[in-house]
Amino acid sequence: MKKHLAFLLLLSAFGCLAQSASRDTYAELPDPQPADQASWALVQPGFYVRFASADVRFPKRAAPAPQTVREGWNPQAWKGEKIHTQIVIWSQSALPQTRLSWSELKDTKGNTIPKDRVTAGFVRYVMTDRLPAEGGGCDERPPGKYDSSLVADPIDLTSVLDIPRQTTQPVWLSVSVPPTTPAGQYSGTVTVGGSAAKPIDLSYRVTVQNRTLPPPKDWKFHLDLWQNPYSVARAHGVKVWSKEHWTVMRPYMKMLADAGQKSITTTIINDPWRSQTEDVYGSMVQWTKKKDGTWAFDYTVFDQWVTYMMELGIDRFINCYSMIPWNLKFSYYDEAARKDTFLIAKTGTPEYDAHWRPMLTDFARHLKQKGWFEKTTIAMDERPMESMQQALALIKSVDQNFRVSLAGLYHPELEQNLIDYCVATNQVIDAPTLQRRRQAGFNTTYYTCCTERYPNTFTFSPPAEATWISWHAAHKGYDGYLRWAYNCWVKNPLQDSRFRTWPAGDTYIVYPGPRTSIRFERLIEGIQDYEKIRILKGEFRAKGQTDKAQQLEKVLNRFEISALDKTPAATLLQPAKTALNSF
């Protein structure tokens, strides 16, 4: 383990890339492991390109094993669905200026899937760590505690890359089938070449089924990935809430909206999570205690952020964090003292009530004036039941119609007061309660965090687990999934996904650029599967096809988390996805 400590010294040399990496090409950190010479000894001279499974994270230092590559790719897709696979490139020699290009897809009748609906990007390598031998990953992670390695995850923006000798280079290939595409078989090619390599064409065929997936804005799956605007400002070197900040954030939030995101993460106090992330969340509401003891609240940033996100199509809930921060510390500007100060107060105390009642009263007025009251929740996460009950009593005493959200343990005593309830994976909500909540228009989801060994979305997690997550939601009857976080970036997220307290990749699933990732693409795949399941269930119910409904339930019953104790997520998914596309 000591030899890996030396690699930490390299981080300072790459620190200057933190801002420019969001826009330009960048260098990966050196691999702490030497090349696997045994695997490369089996590789004959030449330049190799093959299709490969999206379930594999190919190690950079080893030549691909024969069983991990294949000659073709022949997927099935619904109209409106985005599908993907990997391609791997490898050679004993360096491959400078390796370039990707691709064609449109055509069927025999002259119909096409346009070229601009196809993308191919080099999968880059980022430093990761691992879990302890037993238990979850919610532990302190000082340098050297865990061995580190490079792992394939970010999907780059460039179509040209220099590939060093004895390097395996994955490529992520995606096809987004337009919803108006006629059913049929469509053929296309991807071409890989370079200044030292003759181009190689890979042909593939997509079978488009006569079924249509709705656009992401109409997906029922409730995706809630928490956003961090402050991380975007740091990555791009712009001032928070400046014109430039709003501009650079748009492609990130558009990418999130296109994944079916439903909730807007807002902060109504400063630092609701006790500075646990690299970029501390500020308050989107400015609190001022005036000289006469009354309060004034400035909602300018809050209004701008909510409007901005709604314009992108993210508008189911406005989740406002948090009345119960982890340190119970509440900042404000004291006009009489002419300085910023703070109050520390526990729920249920007169001090807490006196601090929050004026704000909640004014906030309710403001939200109703904006037409947002019905969408807004006062949101908390992982707070004790007693504290929640005390906060709920105060909230409802101000306005009985205020809506409340909680991510945490399941408490039957609370659930009827929570329009948006997200529970941990080890919690059990009975089916009648789930059904009653859905019929009432309430939202019930589940989340994973540093606690779960699997399924999860760490940078070292098997890619199929990100897809498996939504199948589990469909099996259990949840409305969707929540994850901390979408983009709480570490110091140098493009090169090193490790963090001081949680497993690598825990705090983000996309990269500066914006660059998507294997994890994010596989998560979207699972959400699409969830929508397919929902649509098919509705069809079988409407047509009285109980036999097909039972077959589908039998498939879903395999997606208990305990199944992952013995069987990899990819092994469980393969037959399930085949069955799903056969109905």
Which residues, in sequence order, are CB contacts of 488 under 8 Å at separation 6+?
A: 226, 228, 231, 277, 278, 279, 507, 508
- Res 16 pLDDT > 50: no
Q: How far apart are CA 378 and CA 272, in angstroms?
A: 13
Instruction: For 140, list phi and psi in degrees, rounded to 5.
Output: -65, 145
pLDDT band at 357 (very low <50, low <70, confident <90, very high): very high
The residues of the chain that CATH labels 2.60.40.10 are 2-211
Q: What is the pLDDT of residues 482-532, one digit of tens each?
A: 999 999 999 999 999 999 999 999 999 999 999 999 999 999 999 999 999
Return the axis-axis angle of helices 243-257 and 300-311, rounded to nearest 10°.
Answer: 40
- Do 443 and 135 meet the contact criterion of CB atoms below 8 Å apart? no
Question: What pLDDT was estimated at residue 24?
Answer: 63
Q: What is the pLDDT of residues 531-551, one digit of tens each?
A: 999 999 999 999 999 999 999
- Res 13 pLDDT > 50: no
Letter for the amino acid at 431?
A
pLDDT band at 144 (very low <50, low <70, confident <90, very high): confident
Q: How far apart are CA 72 and CA 232, in angstroms?
A: 39
- Stretch 96-113: mean pLDDT: 97
Question: What pLDDT was estimated at residue 143?
Answer: 85
Q: How far apart are CA 259 and CA 262, in angstroms?
A: 9
- Stretch 108-132: mean pLDDT: 97
Report helix, strand or coil for 522: helix
Cα end-to-end distance, the chain, whole Å: 51
Q: How far apart are CA 51 and CA 428, in angstroms?
A: 41
Q: How far apart are CA 493 and CA 5, in angstroms?
A: 19
Render 58-100 in DSSP notation, one character per residue. Answer: --TTSPPPGGGEES----EEEET-EEEEEEEEEESS-EEEEEE
Q: What is the pLDDT of residues 56-86, one digit of tens each?
A: 999 999 999 999 999 999 999 999 999 999 9
Average pLDDT, the chain: 94
- Stretch 175-179: mean pLDDT: 98
Greater pLDDT, 19 or 116: 116
How many helical (H) and strand (E) elements, i.e. helices and strands, does the chain have? Answer: 14, 25
Question: What pLDDT was estimated at residue 273?
Answer: 95
Q: Which of 286, 287, 271 is nearest to 228 (CA)?
A: 271
Whole-number Cα distances in Å, 257 to 90, 236, 252, 305, 526: 35, 21, 9, 14, 16
Question: What pLDDT was estimated at residue 197?
Answer: 85
- Stretch 572-576: mean pLDDT: 98
Question: What pLDDT was estimated at residue 17?
Answer: 38
pLDDT band at 15 (very low <50, low <70, confident <90, very high): very low
Return the H-helix or E-strand segment holding 463.
none
- Res 431 pLDDT > 90: yes
Question: What pLDDT was estimated at residue 196?
Answer: 84
220-529 architecture in CATH? Alpha-Beta Barrel (3.20)
2-211 architecture in CATH? Sandwich (2.60)
Long-range contacts of 300-309 (CB under 8 A, 24+ apart): 301/241, 302/266, 302/268, 303/370, 304/241, 304/246, 305/229, 305/264, 305/266, 306/264, 306/266, 306/370, 306/372, 308/246, 308/249, 308/253, 309/253, 309/264
Question: What pLDDT was estimated at residue 106?
Answer: 98
Torsion over CA of 134, 138, 144 and 150, rounded to 10 degrees?
Answer: 90
Q: What is the pLDDT of residues 388-427, one digit of tens each?
A: 999 999 999 999 999 999 999 999 999 999 999 999 999 9
Q: What is the pLDDT of residues 219-255, one digit of tens each?
A: 999 999 999 999 999 999 999 999 999 999 999 999 9
- Res 22 pLDDT > 60: no
Q: How far apart are CA 12 and CA 302, in angstroms?
A: 36
Question: What pLDDT was estimated at residue 14?
Answer: 35
Question: What pLDDT was estimated at residue 8?
Answer: 36
pLDDT band at 9 (very low <50, low <70, confident <90, very high): very low
Question: What pLDDT was estimated at residue 226?
Answer: 98
Q: How far apart are CA 281 and CA 379, in angstroms?
A: 15
Q: How far apart are CA 377 and CA 266, in angstroms?
A: 10
Q: What is the pLDDT of residues 306-348, one digit of tens each?
A: 999 999 999 999 999 999 998 999 999 999 999 999 999 999 9
Token pair, residue 61, equals 């230092």
- Res 561 pLDDT > 50: yes
Residue 46: CB atoms within 10 A of its CB come to: 10
The residues of the chain that CATH labels 3.20.20 are 220-529
Q: How far apart are CA 123 and CA 505, in angstroms?
A: 16
Q: For the chain, how long is the longest CA-to-CA vector? A: 82
- Stretch 559-575: mean pLDDT: 98
Whole-number Cα distances in Å, 122 to 25, 86, 394, 579: 12, 10, 52, 31
- Tell me whether residue 68 is exposed, middle or buried, using C-beta atoms within 10 angstroms of its C-beta: 0 to 12, 13 to 18, 19 or more: middle
Q: How far apart are CA 105 and CA 175, in angstroms?
A: 9
In the numeric block, the tokens 């609370």 are attached to: 414
Report helix, strand or coil for 571: helix
Q: Given CA atoms 141, 146, 150, 155 in this order, what sign does their dihedral have? A: negative
pLDDT band at 25 (very low <50, low <70, confident <90, very high): confident
Token pair, residue 378, equals 């006062």
